[in-house]
Amino acid sequence: MAIAPRTAPILLAMLALCLCLTDAQSQKASSLFAQAAQSTLDRDFPSESISYLLLDARSESVIAERWSNPEKPIPVGSLIKPFTAFAYAQTHREFPTVICSGQHDSCWRPHGHGRINIAEAIANSCNAYFLQLANGIPLERANVVLTSFGLPPVAAGNKSVTLAGLSSYWRVTPLSLARAYATFAREPHAHDPEIFAGLQGSASTGTARAVSVAFPERSVLAKTGTAQCAHTLQGPADGFAVILYPADDPRIVLLTRKHGVTGATTAATAAAMLRSLEAGQQ
C-alpha cells in the first residue's frame, strides 16, 4: 500500500490514502475524514453567516457542509464567468483584449481595469470584459456548455448580463455549482489554459488574493462572486468564493458564502477554513 509522502499536506494525504485502500477500508477512512473535517469547521467557524460545501473533487461527494438548503437555486454573481469563457472558446480561436473604463462600462471597479486579457479578466472579475465576451457567444452554444456542466441555461432576454455575472435572475443550486467546478477542474486539458491561468491569478493577485496569504507556498485555483442577498434577513449582498486545491491536481472543492460582504472578503474566510482543515487533521 502506497503511503503519501510526509511532506504532503495532511489534508490531501488523508484523501490520497483512501484511494489506496480496499472499498470497505476506503469508505471507513473517508467517513472518519469527513467527521474530522466537519468537527473542525463547526469548531472554528461557528457563525451562521457562513455557509459552505466541502467536496471531494474526484467523486463530487460532500465531505462537510453547512448550508440550510444546498439544493435551492440562488444567484451567484461572477461564479459563472469561467464557464462563460469556456463557452466563448468553443466558437472562437482566441480571446480578445478589451479596454475597461470602469463604471462607464458597467464594471465594479470605478476607474476600470484598463487594457485587459482573459486571464486578467477572470483574476480580477472584470464585468466590462465579460459583457463584451458574452455578446459574442450564441445563446445555443452558451446553454450547451452550461448544461454539460449541470448548470441551468440562460434566457435569451438577459443572456449577456447573465453570462457576465450581473443578473440576479439566473440561479443555480450551490451543490450543482460546486460539482460543476469539480468537473471543470478534473479536465484541465480540455479547457483553454488561459482560463486556468485566470483562476490561478485570482488566488494569487486578483479578487481572491487573500488565498495566497494563507497558502503562499502553494498554487491554488479560486474564483469570487458577489450577488444579491438570498437570506431572509436581507443584507447588502452575499459574497461567494470557490477554492480548488491544489491547482495542479484539485482534490478539494470548497464553496463558501458569507452574508453581507463581497466575494473578496469571503475568499479570506474560505482560505482560513482550508488552512484550519489542514491544521485540524495533523
237 falls in which pLDDT band (50, 70, 90)? Answer: confident
Summary count for the chain: helices (H), strands (E) = 11, 7
Same domain assignment for residues 61 and 175: yes
How far apart, in whole angstroms, are the C-alpha atoms of residue 147 and residue 20?
33
- Angle at the Cα of 9 (from 282 to 83), degrees rounded to 5? 125
Same domain assignment for residues 127 and 180: no
- Retrieve residue 230's grid coordinates: 438570498
Same domain assignment for residues 154 and 259: no
Same domain assignment for residues 179 and 49: yes
More confident residue, 76 or 188: 76
Total count of domains within the chain:
2
Query: What pLDDT, on the 0 to 100 scale, is given for residue 230?
Result: 80
Tens of pLDDT, residue by residue over 128-169, are 999 999 999 999 999 999 999 999 999 999 999 999 999 999
For residue 88, what are the domain limits?
Answer: 77-170
Residue 227, beta-bridge partner list:
238
Tens of pLDDT, residue by residue over 92-132, are 999 999 999 999 999 999 999 999 999 999 999 999 999 99
3 falls in which pLDDT band (50, 70, 90)? Answer: very low
The number of C-alpha atoms within 13 Å of 153 and in the hemisphere containing its C-beta is 10
Tens of pLDDT, residue by residue over 165-207, are 999 999 999 999 999 999 998 875 566 899 999 999 999 999 9
- Region of 125 on the Ramachandran plot (φ > 0 left; ψ -120 to 50 alpha; else beta): left
How far apart, in whole angstroms, are the C-alpha atoms of residue 255 and residue 266?
10
List CB contacts of 150: < 8 A, sequence separation 6 or more.
176, 179, 180, 183
Domain harbouring 232, CATH code: 3.40.710.10
Residue of 197, 177, 148 whose CA lies nearest to 55: 177
278 falls in which pLDDT band (50, 70, 90)? Answer: confident
How far apart, in whole angstroms, are the C-alpha atoms of residue 80 and residue 97?
20
Residue of 158, 144, 140, 17 whose CA lies nearest to 75: 158
Same domain assignment for residues 28 and 53: yes
Amino acid code (one letter) for 218: R
Query: What pLDDT, on the 0 to 100 scale, is given for residue 216?
Result: 83
Domain C-terminal end among 126, 142, 170: 170
How far apart, in whole angstroms, are the C-alpha atoms of residue 184 and residue 191?
8
